[in-house]
A and B are shown apart, each in its own frame.
Chain A
Amino acid sequence: MNGRTLSATPTLTERAGALFHRYANPGRFLRLGDRIQPWLTWSAVIITLIGLSWGLFFSPADWQQGDSVRIMYVHVPCAWLSSSGYFALAVCSVLSLVWKHPLADLAAVEIGPVGACVTATCLATGSLWGKPMWGTWWVWDARLTSVLVLFFLYLGHIALIHAFDDQQRGYRAAAILALAGAVDLPIIKFSVQWWNTLHQPASITLTGAPTMSQTMLWPLLISTLGFTLGFAAIVVARLRAGVMESRIRSLLSSPRRASSGEASA
């Protein structure tokens, strides 16, 4: 009786699993992707153009840094996306390891290279900003070093996924690496508080008022929104392609399986 009552009431994990599995159907995902792709793409293009044009031509120059502060409108969105992209990778890893969500593995495969490119751009634009301001391209500062570690974690994730002949083993190993590497995210966030760094502290926090002028804050927020939508649009497009490629692989292997079954019979 008790056993029947317990099995009839779904636990929180089962409920969450049911919700995630609702969107695990590749056909359903492709239909949803078809609908949201144009909206994501065009809103990303328009919002990014508005944000970057505002930052480049209409926002004021900084009283100390001069015009080089305009690099911020590219560097900060890339920095935000490098961390949030890795967070998305860690969420996909949990979905894959706990609920064996089939799309989570494919999403992790597609997020990795985009995240690595964005992190590389963050490091490169940071160097391009550092040279005129600090007089050097690179310092082994806690913030810069922790972001470099994040870049290597992305590369490791990509390498690990493709390192095994058995695809499932690759997914599992990469998911464990992504989860272990997530410890780097708070280190990146708090590095400027925990250590004495050349990199400036955060100008925008959840708890306090922003320490920058509104004339700079708005184009920065708009650029960040545009970059985020662009990142999402690229990942959704790659994920749709990944789902199609998995369908193509299963179609190509099914006649082979059928013929080998006939041969063994």
Chain B
Amino acid sequence: MTHLPYILASYGLAGSLAVILSVGAALRLKRDRVKLASLEAARGRSQGGKRA
């Protein structure tokens, strides 16, 4: 197992990349969902106000 550091580095690199990309995508999705919901709620309120 003299090549163990190279093997661990390869798997570690691929694993870290997968975690970074997927966590980044999940956080971005969560942030955008919250922001879009708040904007649509505000828009709904303003349209309701205009109609009234």
Interface residues of A (CB under 8 A from B): 41, 48, 52, 56, 66-68, 70-71, 74-75, 78, 114, 117-118, 121, 124-125, 128-129, 131-132, 230, 233-234, 237-238, 240-241, 244-245, 247-248, 251-252
Total interface residues on B, CB under 8 Å, equals 26
B16 → A minimal CB distance (Å) = 9
Interface residues of B (CB under 8 A from A): 1-4, 6-7, 9-11, 13-14, 17-18, 21-22, 25-26, 28-29, 32-33, 35-36, 39-40, 43
**Consensus secondary structure, chain B interface:** helix
* Closest chain B residue to A71, Cβ basis: B10
A92 → B minimal CB distance (Å) = 18
Are A128 and B9 interface neighbours, CB within 8 A? yes
Given contacts A234-B21, A238-B25, could you give 17 more A-B pairs where the C-beta distance is less than 8 Å?
A48-B18, A66-B2, A66-B3, A67-B1, A67-B4, A67-B7, A74-B13, A118-B17, A121-B13, A128-B6, A230-B18, A230-B22, A234-B25, A244-B29, A245-B32, A247-B36, A252-B39
Candidates B3, B10, B21; contact of A117 at CB < 8 Å: B21
Are A74 and B10 interface neighbours, CB within 8 A? yes
Candidates B2, B21, B39; contact of A251 at CB < 8 Å: B39
B4: A residues at CB distance < 8 A? 67
Are B39 and A117 interface neighbours, CB within 8 A? no
Identify 17 residue pairs between A and B in the complex whose beta-carbon atoms are under 8 Å apart, listed by A's number. Answer: A66-B2, A68-B6, A71-B7, A78-B14, A114-B21, A117-B21, A124-B13, A128-B9, A128-B13, A132-B2, A132-B3, A230-B18, A233-B22, A237-B25, A244-B33, A244-B36, A251-B39
Number of residue pairs spanning A and B whose beta carbons lie under 8 angstroms apart: 80
Are A68 and B22 interface neighbours, CB within 8 A? no
The 6 closest A-B pairs by CB, nearest first: A237-B25, A68-B3, A244-B32, A125-B10, A241-B28, A74-B14
B29: A residues at CB distance < 8 A? 237, 240-241, 244
* Closest chain A residue to B14, Cβ basis: A74
Instruction: State A179–B6 Cα separation when bound (angstroms).
Output: 36
Are A70 and B7 interface neighbours, CB within 8 A? yes
A248: B residues at CB distance < 8 A? 32, 35-36, 39
B47 → A minimal CB distance (Å) = 11
A154 → B minimal CB distance (Å) = 14
